[in-house]
Structure 1
Amino acid sequence: MIVTPAAAAANWLWLIQLITIIAAAPREDAAPQVKVSVYYESLCPDSRNFFVNQLYPVWVDLSDIIDLQLTSYGKTRELSGDGEQYEFRCQHGPRECASNVMLTCANHYITDRCLQIDFAHCVMRDFQGTKSGKLCANETGVDFGPIKRCMRSSEGTQLQHQAGLLQATLSPPLDYVPWITINDVFTRHQLHEALRNLREVVCGGYQGTKPPFCNLELV
């Protein structure tokens, strides 16, 4: 049997298309990521403890199955605003307000999700508020320039206002920090379990094949 060049090319094209279709097809064990939304405060000891000892280690191990959303607002009160500039009062004072805005600006300007979370973790780990900004930018390879300009301008307070509007949609409303929802659902029991063992909560909520890091024991 003689195969003409045209026929061979057609066969190759068909094979490439078949491979593309197979590669694009969802795996049988594919499942949606578990959405973890954390509402926290930059100078809150409980937020720091959760971020450093639970959230970040679990994120490092299970980022493939987590859709992590961070909002640095917490028990902030918005005192005034004119659509351009807003004023806030924070549970742990003005330094926390400034640091919350810095983290909100970082979320806006750091487009890589992993770098976003690395930067936030560094800030929470150091627990020095805005003093950690430049240091953590250097540590994580982030350009601190846009973040610094944002946090010192009306853009930063506008973004923080938007963060407050997002938090205001919570049902029930936040009364503890950090406040954690899983797949946009909150229960008091789930909050306690997430604070105790977030890995177990995430792995329990994932409907696909559990990754190996789900089998680690909490030390």
Structure 2
Amino acid sequence: MLSYSKYLFCLLAINTVDSVEIYSNYPDIKALEQYYHYQTVNGEKVELQVYYECLCPDCISFHIGPLDDVYKKIGSYIDLKLYPYGNAKRTEENGKTVITCQHGPAECYGNKLHACAIDILKDISKSEFYNSCMMNGTWGGRGSTDMDATNCGQSMGIDSKPIIACAKSKRGEDLLEYYGKETDRLINKQYVPWVLINGELFNTDDDLMKKICETLSNSPPPCAESSD
């Protein structure tokens, strides 16, 4: 059964984000391939869709905790798709689309940074770790700011300048609107993070590694290690 407390936590507006324990270290992108040395069998991958917003505490915990951990271990077996939009709302004003985010303008801008990273890096592995790093708020503040984008880029070997420029441009607005439309396709979304594994809702209180391993018909060695 889904956690009722979680349902309220990211459904209602929250003005502050508590500090979150840093669960993972973010890799230098040049060395990222070390995490993907397992070859899939017959190209089998599990589709993992994550609908989220950058300032939601539950979303932050999910990304820097189980998602990063699992993706490091068996990323080659996961077809990851990220949707940085969450509980934002789209309205039309004077013929223009206006997006209002649950945690205010800072979250809308942070979501644009995430969307632009996905668009510019064109590598979901790089995007996940980079966006997760921004969500940590390691350098103070709520996370997913220009400062986070810059510092995460420096620590991971990613040029953050085009990502920041994109977030401040019409391209960033268009990308956020795109993810809004994709999120609105969900019929029963009630909270975030809203996580689907091969199209089926996953309760993020459960063990993500275990669920993905159970879904694979030919699981890699880390699956056996995690069940010990």
Give the alignment's TM-score, normalised by structure 1. Answer: 0.77
**Which residue does the alignment assign to 2:119?**
108
**Which residue does the alignment assign to 2:152?**
136
Q: How many Å separate the matches in 1 of 2:164 and 2:93?
A: 21
Pairwise CA distance, 1:200: 0.7
**Which residue does the alignment assign to 2:74?**
62
**Which residue does the alignment assign to 1:215?**
224
**Which residue does the alignment assign to 2:212?**
202
Q: Is the 8 A contact 1:74 1:174 kept in 2?
A: no
Query: Counterpart amino acid of 1:34?
Result: V
- Cα gap change, 1:112 to 1:29, in 2 (>3 Å): closer
Q: 2:162 aligns with which of 132, 137, 146?
A: 146
Q: How many Å separate the matches in 2 of 1:37 and 1:79?
A: 25
Query: Counterpart amino acid of 2:210?
Result: E
| Larger CA Rg, structure 1 vs 2 | 1
**Which residue does the alignment assign to 2:129?**
118
Q: Is the 8 A contact 1:133 1:144 kept in 2?
A: yes
Pairwise CA distance, 1:138: 1.2
- Residues paired across the two proteins, number: 185
Q: How many Å separate the matches in 1 of 2:40 and 2:144?
A: 45
Q: How many Å separate the matches in 2 of 1:72 and 1:173?
A: 18
Query: Counterpart amino acid of 1:69?
Result: K
Pairwise CA distance, 1:186: 2.7
Q: CA RMSD in A?
A: 2.3
SS of the equivalent of 2:51 reads: strand
Q: How many Å separate the matches in 2 of 1:35 and 1:139?
A: 29
Q: How many Å separate the matches in 1 of 2:47 and 2:211?
A: 11
Q: How many Å separate the matches in 1 of 2:43 and 2:70?
A: 18
SS of the equivalent of 1:92 reads: coil
Give the alignment's TM-score, normalised by structure 2. Answer: 0.74
Within 5 Å, give how 1:38-187 maps onto structure 2. Answer: 38-80=50-92, 86-126=97-137, 127-130=142-145, 131-170=147-186, 172-183=187-198, 185-187=199-201
- Cα gap change, 1:141 to 1:28, in 2 (>3 Å): closer
Query: Counterpart amino acid of 1:139?
Result: S
